[in-house]
Amino acid sequence: MRKAAFVHSPGYWQAGHGPNHPMKPERLQRTYALLSAYDAFAAENSRLVPARMATEEELGLFHTREYVDAVRRLSAGDARVPAWRYGFGAGDNPVFPGMYETEGLKTGGSLVAAELVVSGQVDVAFNYAGGMHHAGPARASGFCVFNDPAVVISWLAQRGLRVVYIDIDAHHGDGVQDAFYDSDQVMTISLHESGRYLFPGSGFVRERGEGKGEGFCVNVPLPPYTFDEPYVWAFREVVVPLMRRFAPDVVVSQLGADVHRSDPLTHLMLSSAGYVAVVEMIAALAPRWIALGGGGYAIAAVPRLWTLAYGVMSEQVFPDELPAAYAATYESGTLRDQIPPSLDEQEERVVRRQVESVVLELKEIFQL
Ligand SMILES: [Zn+2]
């Protein structure tokens, strides 16, 4: 049986982007509440592990020292720091008090996950507060302050490990792609809604890495309304053979829940069944597995998808009816979507054709 750890701290929701921002701390709070209500950490092969703060040196594996200092000072209310220079401002990336601690804890949680997996204590560790894939070395972007996937992958690469990064968030994993664009030790694979329609506007098929890294960066841009069947097919046709060929020592996955059909910011149409099918494929392929959260802005969907994902990781099947303890505080209903997303036949045909053409192009380029 797979040994799994869930990395957690109540500090994850101590401070946040503010009440009108989509990155609500409740997404994390409810996920933890739902898993606890299912008794998910009581199984013999499952454990709850506390997160810790990332050190400055660890943040420096990807970020500049200047940026780390700026985030600390902004977080403490130092008005002399030019926030705009580091990507902060009203809108997507507001400065908030306690930002350094909360966001540094998210990166530390991903490092805890990496330490647990690399030391062989567990086969998979899930830091659900991680996956902040847009941040740059000296810049906040797309709700992300510290790029924990890039920090963790750098940490793994330093130890000589070959890494595949799989990013299924609805948004392109641009910050992580850029970090390893010229590396043949790290393969980055991102499936996302096409940058023609969605932030950050990148992640096209032609972005394939450079220098030594050419051919080690893979993008699968998908049309709006991509639903379970073509999504899962694209994953099977492209990601599975690439991973078999690269044969990584460890897999880092970003499991953004904004692919769900109810997400208010994106236009992909996955159901819980499609999401689980993808997580199961990652589970089957990953020798050792560091799983991170990511986006996801439908408050009712995120806890359900990440609970299902942790179920795959720890080989637990949770009852479909949401537990009474959870229902009493949050909402009742079922863990899995009851009604599949519906497009009419014509729309389905259009989506299928578009996905097919992307997959065919990728197969030719990467000779799959
Ligand atoms: Zn996203």
- Ligand 1 centre and the CA of 163: distance in Å? 22
pLDDT of residue 273: 97
The pLDDT-based confidence of 341 (bands split at 50, 70, 90) is low
Ligand 1 center to 48 CA (angstroms): 26
Mean pLDDT over 240-248 rounds to 97
Q: How many Å lie between the centroid of ligand 1 and the Cα of residue 161?
A: 27
CB atoms within 10 A of CB 42: 11
Task: Please report the domains of the chain, with CATH numbers, ordered by start residue.
Answer: 4-366 (3.40.800.20)
Active site residue 172: no
In this predicted structure, what is the pLDDT of residue 29?
97
How much distance in Å is there from the Cα of 44 to the middle of ligand 1?
A: 33
Strands 217-222, 4-8: pairing is unpaired
Please state, in angstroms and rounded to a whole number, the distance separating the CA atoms of residues 355 and 176.
24
Please give the Cα distance from 162 to 250 (Å, whole number): 7
* Burial of residue 333 (number of CB atoms within 10 Å: 0-12, 13-18, 19+): middle
The answer to whether the beta carbons of residues 253 and 168 sit under 8 Å apart is yes
- As given in the structure block, the two tokens for residue 279 are 């997580």
Residue 339 confidence (pLDDT): 81
Cα separation, 30 vs 113, in Å, equals 21
At residue 150, does pLDDT exceed 70? yes
Among 101, 117, 91, 109, smallest CA distance to 17 is for: 91
**pTM for the structure as a whole:** 0.98
**Span from the CA of 181 to the centroid of ligand 1 (angstroms):** 20
Full DSSP string of 113-148: HHHHHHTTS-SEEEETT---TT-BTTB-BTTBSS-H
Residue 145 in tokens: 């302050």
Q: What is the pLDDT of residues 313-323, one digit of tens each?
A: 999 999 999 99
Residue 92 near residue 143 (C-beta atoms within 8 A): yes
> Per-residue pLDDT tens for 43-76?
999 999 999 999 999 999 999 999 999 999 999 9
Tabulate helix, strand, coil % of the chain (nearest 5). 40, 15, 45
Question: How many Å lie between the centroid of ligand 1 and the Cα of residue 140?
Answer: 15
203: its two tokens: 């992640």
pLDDT tens, position by position, 174-231: 999 999 999 999 999 999 999 999 999 999 999 999 999 999 999 999 999 999 999 9
Q: Which of 134, 172, 192, 260 is catalytic?
A: 134
pLDDT tens digits, residue range 220-231?
999 999 999 999
Q: Which of 259, 272, 264, 274 is nearest to 225 (CA)?
A: 259
